[in-house]
Amino acid sequence: MRLVVVGAAGRMGRMLIKTVAETEGCTLVGAIEREGSPALGHDAGLLAAVGLLDVDVTDDPLTVFAQADGVLDFTAPAATTAFAALAAQARIVHVIGTTGLQEPDFTKLEAAARHARIIQSGNMSLGVNLLAGLVRKVAATLGEDFDIEILEMHHRMKVDAPSGTALLLGEAAAEGRRIPLKERSVRSRDGHTGARNPGDIGFATMRGGSVVGEHSVIFAGAGERLELSHRAEDRSIFARGAVRAALWGFDKKPGFYTMADVLGLDRL
């Protein structure tokens, strides 16, 4: 499968280049960075420290997408919606790991999915997607006697909060409880907040150092507490998931898919 990495010079971009280069059946055919990036003109393999790949980083996605079967995209929301339109034009697979996407962004992605095969997830790792199924099941089993709080920590450079993973886990909990997350989530607390409303799903965010990604879903009841956690130790888990998603999407029809579809985990 011929793959392009956009955001090639980023933390995930470099890990994706390495993973594509190391995956049998995949070839890197393009690496994209934004106009003016110091990475332009550099060899993608050298950028990712995997040796020369003879693929220069460019700022011309249209030309590169036309020669590809899929694009791996861990960039930023505005870039991702623009890349989705180009992926639709080229009729290719678009794997989206970018987080911080808002409702209008999803509307654009849904439109692009009429022609592209879009696979989007706030977390591409096997572990987190398994965890989401467990959270859904525990939330459905325990009911509102147990308060749900979602705690996450990431490195100091992360720009969005709560993390895409925290929101994915919140959605899973809300699905388990059969409530809309949008109406029941508490994204921050400060000052005289009053007592907790039963049934709310709370989020707490920590940032610091080089933490790759840590998430806990806490079910706090009267006299006991259940905690389900995931710790990412290495970004390769996300990159491997993204490449697996691209390969899965190769022969699928245009549409909007998630990692649960890729992993066959829809309902535990």
Ligand X SMILES: O=C(O)C1=N[C@H](C(=O)O)C[C@H](O)C1
Residue numbers at the binding site for ligand NDP (CB under 6 A): 6-7, 9-13, 32-34, 37, 74-76, 79, 97-100, 121-124, 164, 238
Taking the complex as a whole, the smallest distance from the CB of residue 76 to ligand NDP amounts, in Å, to 5
From 61, 70, 170, 213, residue interacting with ligand X (rule: CB under 6 A):
213
Which of 6, 68 has the CB closer to ligand NDP?
6
Q: Does 124 show up as a binding residue in the annotation? A: yes
User: What count of Cα atoms within 13 Å lies in the side-chain half-sphere of residue 21?
Assistant: 21
Catalytic site includes residue 158: yes
Residue 121: which of ligand NDP, ligand X, none does it interact with, CB under 5 to 8 A by kind? ligand NDP
Asked if 146 contacts 219 with a C-beta cutoff of 8 angstroms, the reply is: yes
Which residue number has the CB closest to ligand NDP? 10
**Angle CA 193–195–198, to nearest 5:** 120
Which of 99, 258 has the CB closer to ligand X?
99
The greatest distance separating any two alpha carbons of the chain, rounded to the nearest whole angstrom, comes to 61
154 binds ligand X (CB under 6 A): yes
Residue 18: which of ligand X, ligand NDP, none does it interact with, CB under 5 to 8 A by kind? none
Cα 113 versus chain centre, distance: 17
Instruction: Please confirm whether the linkage preceding 254 is cis (ω < 30° from 0).
Output: no
State the Cα–Cα distance between residues 56 and 65, nearest whole angstrom.
14
End-to-end CA distance of the chain: 31
Catalytic site includes residue 182: no
| Binding-residue pattern over the window 78 to 117 for ligand X, x denoting contact by CB under 6 A | ---------------------x------------------
State the Cα–Cα distance between residues 28 and 9, nearest whole angstrom.
14
Q: Does 122 show up as a binding residue in the annotation? A: yes
**Active-site pick, 94, 158, 215, 230:** 158
State the Cα–Cα distance between residues 110 and 19, nearest whole angstrom.
28
Which of 163, 216 has the CB closer to ligand NDP?
163
170 binds ligand X (CB under 6 A): no
Q: What are the distances in angstroms from CA 258 to CA 78, 104, 131, 172, 234?
A: 20, 18, 15, 13, 22
Asked if 43 contacts 66 with a C-beta cutoff of 8 angstroms, the reply is: no
75 binds ligand X (CB under 6 A): no
- Site residues for ligand X per CB under 6 A: 99, 122-123, 154, 158, 163-165, 213, 232
Residues flagged as binding site: 7-12, 33-34, 97-99, 121-124, 155, 164-165
